[in-house]
Structure 1
Amino acid sequence: MDLDRPNIEEYLPSEAIQESNEKLHLRDLLDISPTLTEAAGAIVDDSFTRCFKSNPSEPWNWNVYLFPLWCFGVVVRYGILFPVRVLVLTIGWIIFLSSFIPAHFLLRSHDKWRKKIERYLVELICSFFVASWTGVVKYHGPRPSMRPKQVFVANHTSMIDFIVLEQMTAFAVIMQKHPGWVGLLQSTILESVGCIWFNRAEAKDREIVARKLRDHIQGVDNNPLLIFPEGTCVNNHYTVMFKKGAFELGCTVCPIAIKYNKIFVDAFWNSKKQSFTMHLLHLMTSWAVVCDVWYLEPQNIRPGETPIEFAERVRDIISVRAGLKKVPWDGYLKYSRPSPKHRERKQQRFVESVLQRLEKKGK
């Protein structure tokens, strides 16, 4: 007897066990259409998983005529463009650090001038980053200005969203705290423009961030505040639910729509599969990063409108402008696994469906 094999009789009612074995057929145990339908639907139409999948480009070097062209392109991208881009980025860092460090430490008594210079230098280094990808960015609409009681919100595809927007305007961004060299830049250089960091796993950080947000938007001289309300990177085909935090501050919300053209490279950053360093290398070895940025009409909460409804209305505006599909998912589910209780409920429903079927056959 196989001890590891489940005993189906433990799940059968006593009346069914007493019945003749001829009345118990395999099809009775497998007739679980609702469960199978649910499982098939989850496999075929998992709109949540699709939000965070990279879409690999279709191979085109499939014959003897195109393969040499593909090889030539690889040589150009890795042998010529990549070294030039590394050189451009290196020159950018030399210029930036040789200017930022003296300004940061020598102009502490001249706070206004120091902030102005640091703001310009952050925009400059972001421009060098965009140049290192041969970035072709087209901006639509009026450039953001420094005003109190306003916040900018944008859809989120990669951390380079911040760089693309920052090269035009020195935003103070709300961002997850990262490890490594990115975290070092966050805690040193980017804090100079008023950026706010949080740890997604720390519940107490939410209260601290909420307080900092309210304080920041009141300042006349503070840099414009930028928030990615999805809370995670989405693959630029969809938008997930916007967190309501940016929409309950009682200020004007300025939507920004970002759409990447994937003709040369997919700019989506899957942080679970790829470090940001490798993501940058991927961009720097591509032909170009092409995208459009739309600064859309500012929005205010309407009378009787809740922050959640306000967030959905702004998400509609961004999704329509960027041609993105809305899905009713919370992006934070990307970082969590189904709870044991959820799995147990599913298992219990499955057992109950089998038992109900057997009881009907036993009558």
Structure 2
Amino acid sequence: MGIQRTGVKDSNQLRDSSLFRPSQSEVDLYQHDMEDFLLDSAAEPAAPHQNKLLLCDLLDISGVLSEAASAIVDDSFTRCFKSNIPEPWNWNIYLLPLWCLGVIVRYCILFPVRVLLLTVGWIIFLGAFIPVHFILRKHDHMRRKIERGLVEFICSVFVASWTGVVKYHGPRPSRRPRQVFVANHTSMIDFIILEQMTAFAVIMQKHPGWVGLLQNTVLESLGCIWFNRTESKDRHVVGEKLRKHVIDPESNLLLIFPEGTCVNNEYIVMFKKGAFELDCTVCPVAIKYNKIFVDAFWNSRKQSFTMHLLRLMTSWAVVCDVWYLEPQTIRPNETPIEFAERVRDMIAKRAGIKKVAWDGYLKYYRPSSKLTEKMQQKFAESMLRRLRTKTSDEDLSTPMEG
């Protein structure tokens, strides 16, 4: 199927991508279910019509070949996670000097200015956030309000460091109970772009070390929902946290990326149904990036998030449109899966991206050698059944000598 997950190239890439990928227990559970599905759905070769046993019957692997050819000719899954490299346009005597001049401007002028802007922004943010976080600890309401404003400020600094040109369509989200926002997911900068406009809380796995420190300080002020690896086995635990969050009028708006992984902004994969089982209003958000200057898709298998940010900071600009679509509620006799598909249709249509019937967790699926052996055994058993059937048919068709 061409969906094997490549190994992580370095520790920095592993550290960055571990924030946004599913937990190991989820991957193991998904891999077990996927292998069972593949084994159950393994197709047997079609029964031959000839009565005579031919060599082609022994060598008939048309089913296997057709599946392999289908994956090669139209691999609609891996194309969802490919970075599309633009065709070269500057290899001529007229445009090459201008392109070289542009490289000098981007790397020698714009990039240092952006680094300086980001550094100053972090100094201001930390200089204000740390005192507020510790001094106003007893004044929880005021502390959270100031911290939310500071988080929006640092997100605006990040967007400015890319020369972000973001156009927001529709009314700005307002805090109301019993509502959740869902959006298509291209990169971690989706959160930054949405956060600079409105303070959102997100769902994230709990991590140790400096990541845990960041979660317990900066992101804690947003009311983000954390879960441990052991809790991820029990979806009811996370679901209960979500329900408590959405009914609390003092909580920040809840933002969920139901695809569960980053997609290249040309396709949209299936939504997880968890956000649509909360019995609340779902507010769709469509995000579309213009690739005129840079592709904002973060391919976590090829580059760390740090390198992804550096690529954005050395481009001319990040151009993006954000649409806040009409809130939706589940209809009578509509299942959460149907509700999720309806919202996905809205986002895909508004952003101009294609829907595909793939689960994003397949990105993390890696076929095991045990599965390969079982598939080979299943195919061998199928061929043996065919040979026995052929032999029996020939015996019945042979006239008995009297």
What range describes the TM-score normalised by the shorter chain of this pair? 0.7 to 0.9
1:270 equivalenced with 2:299 (yes/no): yes
CA distance in 2, matches of 1:282, 1:315: 29
CA distance in 2, matches of 1:41, 1:356: 26
After superposition, give the CA deviation of every residue in 1:137-195 in whole Å (9 maximum; x if it has no partner).
Answer: 00000001111110000011111000000000000111345677555433320111101
1:67 equivalenced with 2:96 (yes/no): yes
CA distance in 1, matches of 2:127, 2:91: 49
CA distance in 1, matches of 2:284, 2:263: 17
Matching residue within 257, 269, 273 for 2:286 = 257
Residue type of the partner of 1:320?
K
Count of residues in correspondence between the two structures = 340
Matching residue within 345, 348, 369 for 1:319 = 348
* Partner in structure 2 of residue 239 of structure 1: 268
* Partner in structure 1 of residue 193 of structure 2: 164
CA distance in 2, matches of 1:180, 1:61: 45
Residue type of the partner of 2:377?
Q
TM-score (normalizing by structure 1): 0.87
CA distance in 2, matches of 1:201, 1:75: 50
Per-residue deviation at 1:339?
4.5
**Counterpart mapping for 1:261-300 below 5 A:** 261-300=290-329
Report the more deviating stretch, 172-181 or 353-362.
Answer: 353-362
After superposition, give the CA deviation of every residue in 1:44-63 in whole Å (9 maximum; x if it has no partner).
Answer: 21211111111112122222
* Partner in structure 1 of residue 243 of structure 2: 214
Asked if 2 retains the 8 angstrom alpha-carbon contact of 1:199 and 1:205, the reply is: no
CA distance in 1, matches of 2:107, 2:211: 24
* Partner in structure 1 of residue 107 of structure 2: 78
Q: Percent identity?
A: 78
Gaps of 5+ in 1: 1-22
Per-residue deviation at 1:251?
0.6
Per-residue deviation at 1:28?
6.0
CA distance in 1, matches of 2:153, 2:207: 22
Asked if 2 retains the 8 angstrom alpha-carbon contact of 1:255 and 1:314, the reply is: yes
CA distance in 1, matches of 2:122, 2:325: 32
Residue type of the partner of 2:178?
K
Gaps of 5+ in 2: 1-52, 395-402
Please state whether the residue corresponding to 1:286 is helix, strand or coil.
coil
Please state whether the residue corresponding to 1:114 is helix, strand or coil.
helix
* Partner in structure 1 of residue 220 of structure 2: 191
Please state whether the residue corresponding to 1:94 is helix, strand or coil.
helix
Asked if 1 retains the 8 angstrom alpha-carbon contact of 2:232 and 2:238, the reply is: no
* Partner in structure 2 of residue 106 of structure 1: 135
**Counterpart mapping for 1:136-151 below 5 A:** 136-151=165-180
Please state whether the residue corresponding to 1:197 is helix, strand or coil.
strand
Matching residue within 207, 215, 228 for 2:257 = 228
Matching residue within 75, 93, 107 for 1:46 = 75
TM-score (normalizing by structure 2): 0.79
Asked if 2 retains the 8 angstrom alpha-carbon contact of 1:35 and 1:350, the reply is: no
Asked if 2 retains the 8 angstrom alpha-carbon contact of 1:171 and 1:224, the reply is: yes
Please state whether the residue corresponding to 1:51 is helix, strand or coil.
helix
CA distance in 2, matches of 1:184, 1:56: 37
**Is the alpha carbon distance of 1:53 and 1:216 closer, same or farther for their aligned partners in structure 2, counting shifts above 3 Å?**
same
CA distance in 1, matches of 2:259, 2:228: 15
Matching residue within 335, 341, 355 for 2:364 = 335
**Is the alpha carbon distance of 1:78 and 1:177 closer, same or farther for their aligned partners in structure 2, counting shifts above 3 Å?**
farther
**Is the alpha carbon distance of 1:78 and 1:159 closer, same or farther for their aligned partners in structure 2, counting shifts above 3 Å?**
same
